[in-house]
Structures are given as C-alpha cells and as structure tokens.
Structure 1
C-alpha cells in the first residue's frame, strides 16, 4: 500500500527526545490550537509559506510568478499573501533570489522517509538511539505513522512518539505496540481551562494516559509539561497534575519552559493569542521541579 505523509522537518543528532542520539521527524497537522505552540508551522497539515520580510529584495518576482495570484504588492510595497488561495506549489519560494519565501512542509512516501531514517542507523546502534515522531501531532496522520512505525520495528529501530494524547482509543490501540516510548504532554488539569487554551477537552487525554498505564506501559511514558507563565505554572495546575501523576505512579516528567515565538506566527500569517512574552523564571522552574520531586518523580529541566 502506498501511503504518503506531510512532514515539515527532519532533525538529526537530537539528544533530548528519547534515549541516545535520535532523528526527529516533524509531522504536520494537529487537532489542538494551543495559544503558546512553539511549532506553529506544524498546526496545519497543508503546505504553507513563511515570509521573512527582512530578507526581501522587493523584486516582485514572486507576485509575477504565482499561478494562483496569491501574492499581491500594495501601494506601500508590502507583500500580501492570500493564504486562503495559496496551494503551496512552491514556485515562488523556489525562485525567490534572497530566500525571503520558504515553503514549509513536504509530501513524502514511507519508503523515502525510511531512506532518510536509515542514514543514521549506525548512530542509533552506537548510542542506543532511534527515531522520534513529533510535530504537530503525529497521530493526526495515523496511516502514515503506522506504516513508518511498523517499518522501523522491522529494522529494530527504537521508536518514540511525542503526543498531546488527543487521539482516539482505536488509533492509539492499533499503533501502541510499535511505539517504544511515549513522550506524553499534560498541559492543564482543569477541563474548562484546557478548552480555553487548547481548543479541546482534556478528558480523552487523561483517559489515554490511564489506558497506557493500565496496559502495562507505565515505564514507557515520560510526561512533558510546558511551563507557561500565568497559565500552566499556577500552583493549582501544578498541584493538580502532581496528584494525577502520583495516582498513576508515573516516574519521569520533563519541564519545558515557554519561549516567545511571535515572529514565527507573523511569518506564517497566523494569529498569536499569547499576551505573555517572557519565559518562566529560573526560580519558578525550580519550585515546580521540587513539587514533582516531592512525589518521587525524576524531573528533567529544559532551557
């Protein structure tokens, strides 16, 4: 069966997303709309243009080449990209002399992706590494992910999936046997707040974590908490998550501090809802770390 997926990056020599040296595959498309998303280019599954205004030579070649007339130049020489009609053909970005336009995303077959993955097998063998599927939300492309996971397991390559957990039980059940490690997000413990800041309920997410634990996969789960000032870093949220994780006897959590990526959103022509633009203080990160250590968890801090 020929299955094609959409990815937006392949990161080699990664060391923070699972054991050993890894290849991170970034899949496009996500059902959540987190206000603070650090990879907004992974939210939509379609191919998108990023516009780097500071690189632009204002030669207007892009506007003249676009077959859809999706790029206009206004009276102030400002480039206007009509993203609703852009089909991601890449003609403008391929011909842009200063690389001011970049096409984000590419369609790729399972076989071609495997060829990229297999380039690093010696590193996996030497370091105990493997492949991590991230995004976006990897489970958003379930058929593609399943085929790649199965192929990796046939090659005895360690697999990890970084996920929001917002995935149907049917899909999760059908893919979990080929996943060695789950890097599982928890963002907000209160359902109402989760709906506000991510656009979806957290009930399925929390239920899926329980399901994985009940399926005997407790030691294959690492929880990841994005630490967002005034949103996810409140005492109420941290304590609620700690109580939930303690009830499941989960062993490891990674704390991921917020970084402002407003420019990414602007380059993609996407709205940015965040009103907080500063990272959490080192003191607050330390306090949260100590709270999870109190319940016996191994805590990893990221910068």
Structure 2
C-alpha cells in the first residue's frame, strides 16, 4: 500500500472531466506559473502557513498546515462513497494538483484501484514529467486533462520556470499511443492570450487526433483572493479579469476546430 501527500479532496466537481467527479489534489509541482491558482500545491511536503480569516468584520491570522499524508486505502475509501453519483452522472475521479506525476507510485496504485472498481479516471497534468511515467499510467487512465500554456519554450520558461519541449513531446507521444486527451488552455491577459500563441496552440490541437475537447480557462480574481488569504505574494496583483467581448474573440479563433470548445471548462 502506497502513501502520498495531498492537500484536498473535493466531491461534486463538474469542471474536472465528464459528469460529477471527485477531485483528489496532489501536492508538488515542477512548474512555478506566476498565475498559479493553487499555490498551496507547489511544494512536495506539508507546509505551515498563516491564513487570514475574517470574523464579525475583524481580520485575524490562524496557523494552518497545508498538505497531509494519506494512504491509497484511505483515498479509495472516500472515493467509494461517491460511486452511485459517478454511475448516475457518468462521472468519476480526477487526480489533479499540483502535478500528480510527481508522486508516480501513489498515482499508479490509485489508478489501478479505481480500475478494479470500474471507476472512470482522469489525470490533470501539466505534461512536465518523464515519458515513461505517462506510459506507466496510460493503461489505467481514461482521460488526460492536459495543460497547454505557452508554445515558445523560452517564454514558457520565463513564466513557469521550465521549458516546454518535454510537455509538447509527451502530448505527441500520447497521440501516438491512442490516449484520450482534453486540452486546457489557461488564458492569462498579456501572457498566454496573444494571437501568435493561441494560433500555435490551435495548430497543435488540430494535428492531434487524441484531443477530443478544448477548454479555454480565463483568468479570474479568485486567485488573487486566495493568495491574500494565504498571505502569499502575487505577481499579477493588478491584472484585470476578462471582459466577455474578449473571450468571444478568443473563442472565435478556435471555432473551426472539429471538437467541442468551452470557455471555463
């Protein structure tokens, strides 16, 4: 029995794959995206923070530990409570993060256990992992939720701390191996949403038969609020959320793709 480290398990998710799902959030990520919406996921260890809370109009700080060690048995036991909901909604379990493939043995055992229980599985990944790790989990993964952020490698490294050749090569490999993939594009004003980058993403999506759907995920202010509650610095503090007109323009750029396209997942 493997043990891993997670920072949350959320039931009744409708944005992490088909149907109603349980999402298991792994801690640890190889990227450091400056817009990261889950900063508590980045370190591969529990961490103590001072969280800001409000009560009766007053703000105060409380100490909190982000992340906990948990066994595969414990995770599966919690997942099993939702099986009837999965069956009724054609849902399942999504392993997210962070980056689940930073804990490959823990992830693989969970995927195998879900397969034994005939539970649909999705792995939400940034794609930055050794190819053999993707090969090891492919037989037990029904769907990959695959992030494509920035296609120019030097720009990708500037904003995420890692180049993207591994990410693009793994996506190509999954296509060759016949995986089922949903691409997710975080739309960050002035960073990922310029025409050159979006058209480059479109060309990759168009040439990959494994990709069944494209989700465009607009930046929103929830990230800013989370950083504030966690007392963490946020580099995009002054960034404004999208207006509907701009989102319609971006959606139109992808409208000729022969697959479902959604704004917001």
User: Is 1:259 paired with 2:259?
Assistant: no
Q: Give 4+ residue runs of structure 1 displaced > 6 Å after superposition.
A: none
Tell me if the contact between 1:55 and 1:100 (Cα under 8 Å) persists in the aligned partners. no
Q: TM-score, normalised by structure 1?
A: 0.81
Q: TM-score, normalised by structure 2?
A: 0.92
Tell me if the contact between 1:4 and 1:144 (Cα under 8 Å) persists in the aligned partners. yes
Alignment of 1:60-79 (within 5 A): none
Tell me if the contact between 1:9 and 1:105 (Cα under 8 Å) persists in the aligned partners. yes
Distance 2:81 2:113 in 1: 14
- What is the aligned partner in structure 1 of residue 3 from structure 2? 4
Question: Secondary structure at 2:78's aligned position in 1?
Answer: helix
Structure 1 residue 54 displacement after superposition? 4.4
CA deviation vs aligned residue, 1:284-303 (integer Å, no higher than 9, x gap): 21111111112333211118
User: Are the structure 2 counterparts of residues 99 and 10 from structure 1 closer, same or farther at C-alpha, using a change threshold of 3 Å?
Assistant: farther
CA RMSD of superposed structures (Å): 1.9
Structure 1 residue 273 displacement after superposition? 2.3
- What is the aligned partner in structure 2 of residue 60 from structure 1? none
Q: Which of residues 157, 181, 196 is equivalent to 2:119?
A: 157
Question: Secondary structure at 2:207's aligned position in 1?
Answer: helix
Structure 1 residue 275 displacement after superposition? 5.3
Distance 1:148 1:111 in 2: 9
Structure 1, unpaired ranges of 5+: 58-97
- What is the aligned partner in structure 2 of residue 290 from structure 1? 252
Distance 2:120 2:22 in 1: 11
Distance 1:110 1:134 in 2: 15
Tell me if the contact between 2:224 and 2:237 (Cα under 8 Å) persists in the aligned partners. no
- What is the aligned partner in structure 1 of residue 263 from structure 2? 301
User: Is 1:18 paired with 2:17?
Assistant: yes
Q: Give the count of matched residue pairs.
A: 260
Alignment of 1:45-124 (within 5 A): 45-55=44-54, 100-124=62-86
- What is the aligned partner in structure 2 of residue 87 from structure 1? none
CA deviation vs aligned residue, 1:156-184 (integer Å, no higher than 9, x gap): 11000110011101111111110000010
CA deviation vs aligned residue, 1:67-108 (integer Å, no higher than 9, x gap): xxxxxxxxxxxxxxxxxxxxxxxxxxxxxxx88232221110
Tell me if the contact between 2:53 and 2:229 (Cα under 8 Å) persists in the aligned partners. no
Tell me if the contact between 1:50 and 1:267 (Cα under 8 Å) persists in the aligned partners. no
Q: Which has the higher strand share?
A: 2
Q: Which of residues 166, 180, 183 is equivalent to 2:142?
A: 180
User: Are the structure 2 counterparts of residues 54 and 149 from structure 1 closer, same or farther at C-alpha, using a change threshold of 3 Å?
Assistant: closer
Structure 1 residue 270 displacement after superposition? 3.9
Question: Secondary structure at 2:240's aligned position in 1?
Answer: coil
Alignment of 1:124-135 (within 5 A): 124-135=86-97
Q: Which protein has the larger Cα radius of gyration, Structure 1 or Structure 2?
A: 1
Structure 1 residue 222 displacement after superposition? 0.5
CA deviation vs aligned residue, 1:33-73 (integer Å, no higher than 9, x gap): 0000000011112112342334499xxxxxxxxxxxxxxxx
Distance 1:99 1:13 in 2: 30
Structure 2, unpaired ranges of 5+: none
Alignment of 1:205-224 (within 5 A): 205-217=167-179, 220-224=180-184
Tell me if the contact between 1:25 and 1:133 (Cα under 8 Å) persists in the aligned partners. yes
